[in-house]
Copies of this chain bind each other. A is one copy, B any other.
Amino acid sequence: MVRVCFAKLGAIGSAVISEYLLDERADRQDLEVRVITSGSKMGETEAEEVAEKVLEFNPDIVIVASPNATLPGPKKLRDTLKSAGKNVIVLSDAPAKKIIEELENEGFGYIIVTGDSMIGARREFLDPSEMALYNSDVIKVLSATGALRAIQLAIDRAIQNGELPKLVIDAWKAVESCEFSNPYALAKAFAAYSIAEKVAAITTKACFVEKSAERYIPMVAAAHEMMRYAARLADEARELEKSCDSVLRTPHARDGKVLKKTKLMEKPS
């Protein structure tokens, strides 16, 4: 029985459903999973408290998920866990690319999802419903383009053989994990992921640079429209694979093995 723990500070699309990626039908018998989260807050205080609970669970592997892993909170969290001797995988978004070398040197595994762009966090625009809509679109993009499968497989490998991933999921890494049979489906998924990646350029400017509401409101709204269209295009990619009955599926067996199938009516094996 492997014990896996997800420790989350703040929200990123890749992480909101990450624990379910490992046991999507709740029938694995080789795995115990816990998740400890501090909600939206990602300060050092939260990090410490979360770390404490994680350690009480005594996990074999911990996935530390947060936006922007360069911030003090996420750093505190992973460092505390590492110091306690845990295998730690950092799951984060594009800004984390800046600390890849540091992570490698310190023995962390990492999964960096460049398409998991920052939300348009301005009070005039972002209420709980808009937050949810954005995450809906992000999850659609990440799942239909293959990014979530890449995360699944990386964590699955870590569980199976202890190998910590060193993975930056860019458009290529995402679409490769879908093994598209139709090359236009691949191209559409690549395009969808690429649009998703660019959203952060607008949200970060709108949230941290623009001071005028006249400008930052339309910008965050535009950023969410981009993600909405990225989600549509990702859906179009998947529909194309449906038309060829070649949608790749990688469900878990009860013993945790990753199975594989493409034709809808066949058994996975």
Interface residues of A (CB under 8 A from B): 4, 6, 8, 10-11, 16-17, 19-26, 31-42, 49, 53, 56, 121-133, 135-137, 139-140, 142-144, 146, 148-149, 152, 171-172, 175, 182-184, 186-188, 190-191, 194-195, 198, 202, 213-215, 217-219, 221-223, 225-226, 228-229, 231-233, 235, 238, 240, 242-245, 249-253, 259, 261, 263-268
Across-interface contacts of A249 in B (CB, < 8 A): 124-125, 127, 129-130
Asked if residues A240 and B242 are in contact (CB atoms below 8 Å), the reply is yes
Asked if residues B17 and A11 are in contact (CB atoms below 8 Å), the reply is yes
| Choice from B130, B222, B266 contacting A191 with Cβ under 8 Å | B222
Q: How many Å from the CB of A95 to the closest CB on chain B?
A: 16
Give the oligomeric copy count. 6
Asked if residues A229 and B191 are in contact (CB atoms below 8 Å), the reply is yes
Asked if residues B140 and A128 are in contact (CB atoms below 8 Å), the reply is no
Q: How many Å from the CB of A142 to the closest CB on chain B?
A: 7
Across-interface contacts of A229 in B (CB, < 8 A): 191, 195, 229, 232-233
